[in-house]
Amino acid sequence: MEPILRENPILFEPWMAAVFLIALGALGYIRMVYSKRFGLLIKTAARLQILRQVMREELLFSHRASLVLFTHFIAMTALIIYAALNYYGVVSEDSLGLTLYLSILFGLLGLYLFKFAFMGILKWVYRDRGLMREYRFEIFSVSKILGLLFLPLALISVSVNVGKLEWVFPFAALLFAVSFVFRTIQGLVMSFSYSVSRIYIILYLCTLEILPFVLFLSLFKKSFA
């Protein structure tokens, strides 16, 4: 689908300035106060030994740096989705604005919270001794890295002339797809360290990883066909 014709050559809206200022301020704070953990971010996602070491040092949902970086990922992802909807004219101009952005943001947040809650249920049902916790931490780590990569893409998507944005949204989708495949492979590697049923792994991957991804792709194709 081609981008729609518009009077304004950029997609920037005034409220977006506050989003970027808050995001940059939060990253600056994390960089200064938690510089050591900031440096371990990529290593944590890529190496299981470091991931397990960091897991022993912090609680997944209580460490301030983790919460801030994960929230940053949600905010940047929502902004890129918002800009894509505007760029391709999927929603009417009357529907655009801060309210739509917040709806996307809280929708993404709700999706991840549901995923984490379902992982907790599976952990209880199958009496998992650590696999779900490790994989949940892996999702957190990969998402935080993706959020950092999405920041410049989000800034470009709303500040550059729309005639030069044809590569931005497909590239963002590619990054997300690569992160999805990477964390899925990491999850399978983690499963070999635990004596759990393969049905357990297949149930999780089909229910909360593959199925949502397939649904997203089908909706994407339907919207942009």
Domain presence at residue 116 = yes
Which residue is it, tokens 């801060």?
98
Domain presence at residue 82 = yes
- pLDDT at residue 221 in the model: 55
Per the structure, the complete domain to which residue 46 belongs is given by 15-224
Residue 59 confidence class, pLDDT cut points 50, 70, 90: very low
Q: Supply 18's token pair.
A: 């506050």
Domain presence at residue 1 = no
Domain presence at residue 10 = no
Domain presence at residue 5 = no
Residue 209 confidence class, pLDDT cut points 50, 70, 90: low
Q: Please check whether residue 6 is in contact with residue 86, taking contact to mean a CB–CB distance below 8 angstroms.
A: no
Return the SS3 of 30. helix
Residue 219 confidence class, pLDDT cut points 50, 70, 90: low
Domain presence at residue 9 = no
Q: How far apart are CA 206 and CA 169, in angstroms?
A: 26
Q: What pTM value is reported for the model?
A: 0.79
Domain presence at residue 4 = no
Q: Supply 220's token pair.
A: 């994407």
More confident residue, 64 or 156: 156
pLDDT tens per residue, range 101-150: 999 899 888 888 877 777 777 667 666 666 677 777 777 778 888 998 99
Residue 61 confidence class, pLDDT cut points 50, 70, 90: very low
Q: How far apart are CA 116 and CA 112, in angstroms?
A: 6
- The count of structural domains within the chain is 1
Domain presence at residue 86 = yes
